[in-house]
Structure 1
Amino acid sequence: MKAFFGTFIKEIKLLTRDPAGLILLFLMPSAFIISLSLALEGTFMTVEKSVNKYKIAVVNNNTGHDGKNIIDLFEKSGKLIVLTNFEKTLLSEERARRAIIDSDIIAAVIIPQLDKNRDRRAEIKLIIDPGLANEVGSFLQYSLQQYIYISEIARLNIEKNMLQKSIYPQTVEYKANLGTIASNSGDFSIKKYYALREATTDIIPTSVQQNVPGWTIFALFWIAQILGINILGEITDGSFRRVKVSPTSERIWLTGKIVPYFLINLLQVLFLFALGVYLMPKIGLPALEIHNTGALVILTLAVSLCAISLGVLFAALSRSSFMLSSFSAMILLLMSVLGGIMVPKFVMPPVMQDFSMWVPHGWAIDGYMNVLVKQSGIRDILPAVYRLLIFSLLFFSAGYLALKSKLGRI
């Protein structure tokens, strides 16, 4: 234990000798978070530019023509796959909401039966995934609004014709047709909701919820490069020879070097999330809302462990600090792109979205989005945590074995 604390304190002293570099670890991601949140608020993408087809659920409670007409409208848009059944069962409103949370369905439209008393408009519910780009939800809402306007115009024309024709005798058949058309002409309003774990609510996702966790993940993993350079530097400059002749084991030496960087990662998360909570509202952006601190802490520990493990692997695979700096920067940037940090995942084509599941960044951002946007609990983020722990085990095991072999040759 004494050897561990000796190594730990030495690392802290080395880190504090470069205060500018230490401050940069906090300021660099802060600058990304602030600038990109301001630049990208509400402008992630447009449906018209997307090559993807989105799945939407439709619960048709309308016995008239409106339900079928709305479904036809969505199907003819060329952008949507309309589902009225999920897992071989007819959809209900609750099942549709759960399908949004648990599957790749992005939205649900609940078409009501018209109120026979006609004293108020029947409400069409548009329930969407909180992680969906604003423009996609707007496209769905616009399509419904367009149908309502057309239906309203048709209804007014019918009433006008009925008023004009009432001056003259009409056949029973003509009056029956008018009655059928009028009863099936939609008198609707639209209400938009967001599907969260606990309820369907109108909490709106923002670019802050994408950029704060996204660039926090970037910062956490960037420290892998710094840790790798530090470990490699001590090996190449001969400092490790003193460790070999001391009672300190390689495992204790490595642990003592790792822990300070792990603590720095946790401080980074506190600082960057505090920016989202307190600074963002001051500059005109929505505040970052944290609903489940426990889930957030568990996920952050898993992400940090994965980043530290990657740093050990970088040190083991490199022969010089220059080599480590070059290839680690390339790998970290590539992981950030594939994982949905620099480019939001919903912008990516399906193939690239599949690739994001092969890098830890993809699981990390999904976990944070679930906690911050969908208000998921600990149980809901466990799949992401497990994957991150698997990545950590693979990175650390490979790095430790390679590093042990390298140290044995010294």
Structure 2
Amino acid sequence: MSRTPTLRPRVTHSAPETRPPRVARPLRAELRRGVGPPAGAAVLATLLFTMYTKADSWQTGWTDTTDMLRAAGALLGAPPAAAAACWQGGRERRRGTEELLATVARSRLRQTLLAAAPTIVWPVVGYLLTAALCLLATWPYAGDGHPFVSLIAADATAIGSFAALGFVAGRVVPWRLAPPVVALAVYLIQPFIGVQDAPASWLSPGKEHIFSWDRPVWWFGPASMVWTAGLAAAALLAYATRRRARALALAPLAAAATAAVLIVQTGDGLWRPDPASAVLVCDDGTPRVCATRAHSHLLPGASAALAGLAAKLRGVPNAPTRIVESLDDRRVRRTDAPLSGWNSYFRRGRMVEPEMFAANAAFGATAPSCPGVSDMERYNDISEAVAEWLAPMPRPKRVPAGWNEPGYTRNLKRLKTMPDDERTRWLGDYFAAVRTCRLERVTAP
């Protein structure tokens, strides 16, 4: 019997499948090379060092932190970003590849955006990282309120916009010294605009605000973004589009002009009092010590620093009934002793200059704003003596040679030696005259 052969399938070994090599995306490749990453690192290092050295002046509240970030970003972040972008803009001219790029199928606008992206993105990332770290450092000491994120976003947009303008300048100006000139121009123009006593000063991203109990109008941040980004977009479109399509640059330019007009017409009204932050919070002492809600977390330290002054005022007729944080309005009563700049006496939520704080409070209690005062020198000698008795001003231990004794010394010595009842009666008459602005009734002790 013969066997039937078993048929087995023939195995063929085929070559392994080969996948096409992975091509990196152009934007990712551009972001990894060139001066973009070093520029972002330089902006980050510069801003972090500056904020660290100035931490005592901003690490007390959200408004102070935002103001310092805005000033540092505009003055120290934008110039190096613009200079790096200007250098990046002249890259093809230095390499001699301009004619080669003209033959690429990719449009000129896309080529321009890809080349400019590193020096726009990385400095913005450096600023945002600085802002995030500073806000985290402020959070334990800020008290009520919240950071103004829209203004921080507007400042980041301004840094990117200056970088875009610097890139266009590098493409247009064939000069190796163009980057430092661009950086110097950005550094000088912003403060020049910001210090002007005019509504146009708010066009500068580095314009600072003072009062911690105010808040920006909701559209200030977006309008600032449109103002700076519109100029940058118009410059990029005017450079990178064809001659027939350059009219497209008019659209972002018109948007920037509209935002600028809105900002200038509003002026100082861009910041408005926040009723929740401006309301006064007081302790239970006599006289009462009151701070705005924005600084209410500093009230225990302020009350402790003013304990000696309050003890001397207690029981004096017509003496101030409150020592209040001075507001930019008319809510301060005649019976109040105004005191401004509370946060300047604190570092990270703790009082660091209690004697100076109390001395300025005593000055606010004895120096009312009364128009048309005659014989002001005599009144100043008396009021300074009262303020010095209430809370002595810190003075150097060593008196310099040739220093003359101030005129209020005799009145101060008299106040210190007066019997308690007589001094209380005299102080009552003094504060009554001060409250009614009848300073001619003030007599020497």
Task: Please give the TM-score of this superposition, normalised by the length of structure 2.
Answer: 0.41
Higher-RCO chain (CA-CA 8 Å, sequence separation at least 6): 1
Name the larger-Rg structure.
Answer: 2
Q: TM-score, normalised by structure 1?
A: 0.44
